[in-house]
Amino acid sequence: MKTTETKKTDTKKAPAKTTQSKGGRAVKAKSNAAEGLRELFIDSLKDIYWAEKALTKALPKMAKNATSENLITAINAHLTVTEGQVQRLEQVFELLGEKAAAKKCDAMEGLIKEGESIMEETQEGPVRDAGIISASQKIEHYEIASYGTLAAFALTLQEDEAAALLQQTLEEEKEADTILTEVAYNTINFDASEEDQEE
């Protein structure tokens, strides 16, 4: 019995030692840091609100630089959807009794900048179109992860109406990702590949 108890005690202590031995530096929280899940939820909503508003400015630039009609149509269609998503987020803020406010989203800013770099570093045509799809899908995957988390937070906080709205946006982002994949595989990637063979 004593041996078993000793082993149990040792097992409990082990994870603490492992955590300490991993190294790294503890992050000091800001004075206005979120203390509860609800605060984190609202903070994350502000983040994605900024991201969606930034996208409404970035998508027209992508459409202008694309040459494939299918891609231009897909981007313009998603611009309309994105504008609706901004309004839906405003509904979520209202349901929570919060003012709709944007907080700069570093991740989205980086993804948009990456998209701009891709356009600058590619020749107009199928190769640039393939790059635009690549950049767009990275954005979609970020949004899918964000809305999935936000919907889960809303459900946990028993904000069912907000969760339903966020889930609706999540489904739209998944659909946009699927459309981009189809556009890429139907023509653009193959056209871009042919350009490589012609060189």
In this structure, what token pair is assigned to residue 163? 């969760």
Given a cut of 70, whether residue 26 has pLDDT beyond it is yes
Distance between CA 177 and CA 155 in Å, rounded?
24
Q: Which candidate, 108, 183, 167, 166, places its Cα nearest to that of 138?
A: 108
Q: Is the pTM of this model over 0.85?
A: no
Q: Is the dihedral of CA 22, 44, 152, 28 positive or negative?
A: positive
Given a cut of 50, whether residue 4 has pLDDT beyond it is no
Q: What is the mean pLDDT of the chain?
A: 86
Residues 111-139: pLDDT tens digits? 999 999 999 999 999 999 999 999 999 99
Q: Which candidate, 167, 47, 52, places its Cα nearest to that of 105?
A: 47
Cβ atoms of residues 125 and 67 within 8 Å: yes
